[in-house]
Chains A and B, each alone.
Chain A
């Protein structure tokens, strides 16, 4: 089969974000609104790119291996709560606070993975339990008060476009290196394509699963810190109130999977996140009601899944029509 040229691959990779941007620009023109209308808009866009990219990495690392994880939001919340509280007590700056959030979140992920590996309970059930446990821990850790750093201008000042780009770039490069260029990544991919054979060849699936949970946690630690620095406060949730964040990652994950046919899958996920960030920006700029946002997001996800599930049939029809018109 003939492989598409690199230029075609590049164009196909950029197709979705460019198409999303074009559609939104047209709507913006019709509405008489500028999509990027100043620093706030750019900041929103790059923050959303960072948040969605990292959350989607964190979700897909385990979901690709069949491990559904509801605890992403709780890990993000608890790690930001721990880091924010220590930042308050020790007076440390944004980078050490970020480091604490990442380490704390990695440990929380590792603990989650440990519970899964030791108990062998289905991952979806373990993740539900861990979600409640971590939400409760965050509540107990602060006495329910959450964290308020609104007077810490150094931490709030971390929320710059440059830092969002830097964090996104570091995360993308780190995930590409870890999953595409290391033994751990090779084992991970081997386990994905056939766990039984991979285990029989000597790959330790438990160690790999623990590693995945730790990396996923670390990424959510960054997301937690971005949220903390953005508003200067970390509010708490109980009774699964934290799981909403993972649903922002589904569409970019599927888009990333599609783009991954033409370019590195992790870059594809980032481009999926760019598309979602554009949509988030449009929601804000068009002052879209939250109910309408939910409907649009759900519709886009369903439509994309319908396309993915029927792609062959749709493309066949399209090609037939093309051939008929050529004749």
Chain B
């Protein structure tokens, strides 16, 4: 009997404690975050910005999913967010976006796409859903342009022999395919008369060719030459051997990578005369690689680039959704910062890595967080994504 009383007392105390915690957390808006990548430097930078800056600045709580590997995992994670009383979901995971949107819409919670976009067909289908906030991130056109600019940078310097690391191309990762297509298109356009990639001589034909092949073939492109190509993320001995072979290919001058260039090729490029260009983020490791000459060119997403989609989601949860002039969800493009030398990298990195004064501070975002924000003003804000424009916004 005595034990029973003790047990009841203990349970009551625990319940009271739980109620107190719930009451303390009740004022916070909970936002679920779907992630399919929890370990890359870019993913960690986004997470740090949300959890270490935004969460404190706006009194919101971010609940992160595990590292998702398929659509079933996405569904289960959203179920978990719903049970946890999340008011919105910001998604960095793209295994099945339509299913995510449908699930959130059915549950009556807002859904937003960070660092990506829907396809045109998907947007047409979901743009008027009440709970679909929209997408802000590099559109496929911006991804294409990023690859194009990277290749053009070296072609304009007179380089003619290129290697390419295709990352997710064999797995049909859209952004990697578009970046690779941009690189090839630059070679075709700047490779002189009659230059083509497997007969394809324009952007759309090259994109189609890559989707058809699921890979990229080496060969001459007019006066230029793609001398080596490695795709995938096998991380086995044969794959590392292919990467080493690519660096050692006779005459190769530069390796263009659609992502993770330093992590997979840095060790092989170190000490060689081959230049390395990549798409990554402004981490200290990348800064060191650029300082030491291993990395020559970097297009990077900055951590605070996920700030505007948070603002749009925050507004929607607070009853002030931002819709375009036809009442449709957002579909706004946002690009990269490009660093081609160590000084430039340090300048970008200093802003990007700050937890107290990041690229998008609360002061900047407060202008767009709240009632009565027009679509045009918000779109103009998002479009000012270059480093200089953001520095100007901060003044």
Contacts and interface: CB of A to CB of B under 8 A. Distances in A.
Q: Give the interface size class of chain A.
A: 35 or more
B267 A146 contact: no
Contacts of A28: none
Interface string B274-296: 00000000010100110110100
B317 interface: no
Contacts of B39: 139, 144, 146, 235-238
A20 B291 CA distance: 45
Contacts of A285: 241, 245
Contact of A239 (B69, B244, B248, B268): B69
B237 A48 contact: yes
Interface of B: 38-39, 41, 43-44, 66-67, 69, 170, 215, 232, 234-242, 244-245, 248, 262-264, 266-268, 270-271, 283, 285, 288-289, 291-292, 294
Contact of A150 (B235, B240, B267): B267
Most buried by A among B41, B170, B266: B266
Given A38-B248, A150-B262, A44 B241 contact: yes
A144 B44 contact: yes
B294 A151 contact: yes
A231 B238 contact: no
A287 B289 contact: no
Given A40-B248, A151-B289, A233-B263, A239 B240 contact: no
A275 interface: no
A289 B170 contact: yes
B388 to A, nearest CB: 28
A44 B240 contact: yes
B285 A148 contact: yes
Q: Which 8 residue pairs are nearest across A and B when measured between Cβ atoms?
A: A150-B266, A284-B241, A232-B267, A148-B285, A283-B238, A44-B241, A48-B237, A280-B237
A51 interface: yes
A146 B288 CA distance: 15
A126 B181 CA distance: 46
A148 B289 contact: yes
15 contacts: A39-B248, A44-B240, A139-B39, A144-B39, A145-B44, A150-B266, A159-B267, A230-B240, A233-B285, A235-B39, A237-B39, A238-B38, A239-B66, A244-B236, A284-B237
Nearest to A44: B241
A17 to B, nearest CB: 16
Contacts of A44: 237-238, 240-241, 244
Contacts of A52: 237
Nearest to A228: B267
Given A145-B41, A150-B294, A281-B241, 8 more contacts: A44-B240, A145-B283, A148-B288, A148-B289, A150-B266, A235-B235, A248-B237, A290-B232
Interface in A272-327: 277, 280-281, 283-285, 287-290, 293
A231 B266 contact: yes
B135 to A, nearest CB: 25
B263 A290 contact: no
Contact of B289 (A38, A39, A150, A280): A150
A43 interface: yes
B67 A239 contact: yes
A236 B263 CA distance: 11
B294 A293 contact: no
A264 interface: no
Contacts, number: 123
Interface string A240-269: 000010001000000000000000000000
Nearest to B44: A144
A233 B262 contact: yes
Contact of B240 (A144, A231, A238): A231
A233 B292 CA distance: 15
Given A150-B270, A230-B267, A236-B39, A145 B67 contact: no
A193 interface: no
Interface in A42-91: 43-44, 47-48, 51-52
A2 to B, nearest CB: 40
Nearest to B293: A151
Nearest to A149: B267
A218 interface: no
A290 B234 contact: yes
A280 B235 CA distance: 12
Contacts of B288: 148, 150-151
A4 interface: no
A287 B242 contact: yes
A181 interface: no
B44 to A, nearest CB: 5
Contacts of B215: 289
A108 B245 CA distance: 35
B207 to A, nearest CB: 21
A231 B267 contact: yes
A214 B245 CA distance: 36
A244 B264 CA distance: 18
Given A40-B245, A51-B237, A148 B266 contact: yes
Contacts of A239: 66-67, 69
Contacts of B264: 231, 233
A35 B343 CA distance: 44
A212 interface: no
A171 interface: no
A153 interface: yes
A40 B247 CA distance: 10
A93 to B, nearest CB: 16
B290 to A, nearest CB: 10
Contacts of A194: none
A153 B240 CA distance: 18
B240 to A, nearest CB: 6
Interface in A195-249: 229-233, 235-239, 244, 248
